[in-house]
């Protein structure tokens, strides 16, 4: 049996370890900690990407690549790089809080002043966007951290049953 003293040392290490992880999470909105139905989340339950060592991306990242290029790239430029008209979303996905990101896409945003007149449309009623908004967000975070290069991801995980069920429910409902 360990003495009382070494037990408390173990407990202290556990506390410090947990605290260390927590503060890392506060500054890191990116690291994949757990997976549900092929979708990855940070320790704070925020959707994120997962890229294997051989470059295989999770399905959501791949789906987000496709949806981004269908719905967003006309204004925001290919690969989340930005354009003269609209900001680089690969940066926004890291700088904005997840909920703020969703809020802008849902409700839109309008910057009008003497030097610019830019409008981010609201997509709240567009199922082709809203049913895949996490996918787009996940893809853009992968781009923002350079976890994936520009262009179409070459290798991807297969689509999970959970993805298909959610997609059907969202698009059909």
Sites of contact with ligand HEC (CB under 6 A): 71-72, 74-76, 85-87, 89, 92, 96, 101, 104-105, 109-111, 118-121, 123, 129, 136
Residue 56, number of CB atoms within 10 A of its CB: 15
What is the closest distance, in whole angstroms, from the C-beta atom of residue 24 to ligand HEC in the complex? Answer: 24
What is the closest distance, in whole angstroms, from the C-beta atom of residue 81 to ligand HEC in the complex? Answer: 13
Q: Which is nearer to ligand HEC, 43 or 120 (CB)?
A: 120
Please, what is the Cα angle at 113 between 110 and 117, to 5 degrees? 50
Q: Which is nearer to ligand HEC, 18 or 130 (CB)?
A: 130
What is the closest distance, in whole angstroms, from the C-beta atom of residue 141 to ligand HEC in the complex? Answer: 12
CB 90 within 8 A of CB 146: no
Q: Of 75, 133, 70, 50, which is closest to residue 99 (Cα–Cα)?
A: 133
Q: Which is nearer to ligand HEC, 129 or 142 (CB)?
A: 129
């Amino acid at each position: 049996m360990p003495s009382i003293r070494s037990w408390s040392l173990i407990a202290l290490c556990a506390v410090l370890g947990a605290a260390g992880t927590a503060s890392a999470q506060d500054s890191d909105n990116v690291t994949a900690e757990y997976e549900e139905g092929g979708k990855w989340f940070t320790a704070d339950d925020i959707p994120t990407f997962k890229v294997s060592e051989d470059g295989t991306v999770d399905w959501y990242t791949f789906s987000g690549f496709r949806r981004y290029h269908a719905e967003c790239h006309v204004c925001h430029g290919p690969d989340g790089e930005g354009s003269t008209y609209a900001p680089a979303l690969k940066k926004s996905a890291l700088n904005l809080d997840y909920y703020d990101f969703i809020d802008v896409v849902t409700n839109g945003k309008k910057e009008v002043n003497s030097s610019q007149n830019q409008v981010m449309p609201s997509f709240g009623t567009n199922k082709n966007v809203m049913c895949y908004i996490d996918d787009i967000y996940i893809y853009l975070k992968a781009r923002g951290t350079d976890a994936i290069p520009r262009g179409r991801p070459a290798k991807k995980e297969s689509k999970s049953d959970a993805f298909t069920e959610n997609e059907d429910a969202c698009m059909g409902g």
